[in-house]
Amino acid sequence: MATSLLGFNWQEENVQPEIKNASGFITSESHVLGFAPPRLSQIVAGINPTLSAFDIPVVLGGVVENYSVANGQQVIKIYEIGSVRSYLLAARADGQISLNRVLLNNQSLMRMMYAAYKDSRGRFNALIGNSSPGVQTIDVGNSLPGTVNTNGNGTNDFFFDMQNPIFRAPFGTMIFMKSADNKPYSAMFFEDCLISSHGFASSSSGVVIQEAASMRFGRAVPVNVRALAVAA
């Protein structure tokens, strides 16, 4: 990396010459997101300080076409009489995730978000099973947030009724990133997510139906990726 403006040769070198090829870039196909219980403390492995991304049971979100994560914090500027300078104070932080997913005859977007939840009457079960290592599935009582499949198997795959009490309960979201050469780069677990909006849309010229959702999260927790094995 060039450390001096005077020593930078813009005609002969890149700004970061240590980047030798494109294999180290993070691309859309080399990372994935998934959904889990609302907090790492609800996953037994999460108590371990050496926790790696492979230790966290999540339901991976397939057919997600795009997502965005935004962090922000309150910043106020204070002036004082007698000076042209000012003070900057940082206050509370806030974050939001938005994503789009193609609708298919499988778990819908909000159904996947609530992967750790189950109905006590067995009308829908947690996508993350009790056999998953360390995970505590969550009972939401007798809620029916969606519709029952026509095959009568009792699973509610399409969640849409935002007035249902289940959507007052939080869930967890995880993003796991690798570089194009399959090296782990970063993993983040977003705790206490709540859906702020959800919808789906179609058009006469379109082929697929897209679901869109936005959520707010309580905090972003970094997850260790150093211990992850790199596939050959």
pLDDT tens-place string over residues 176-203: 888 888 888 888 899 999 999 999 998 8
Is 127 part of any domain? yes
Query: How many structural domains is the chain composed of?
Result: 1
Mean pLDDT of the chain: 81
Is 228 part of any domain? no
Average pLDDT over residues 84-103: 94
Is 12 part of any domain? no
pLDDT at 151: 56
Is 231 part of any domain? no
Is 9 part of any domain? no
Read off the CATH number of the domain in which 152 is found. 2.30.110
Is 109 part of any domain? yes
Is 229 part of any domain? no
pLDDT at 199: 93
Token duo for residue 112: 């996947």
Residue 207's domain spans which residues?
22-222
Is 167 part of any domain? yes
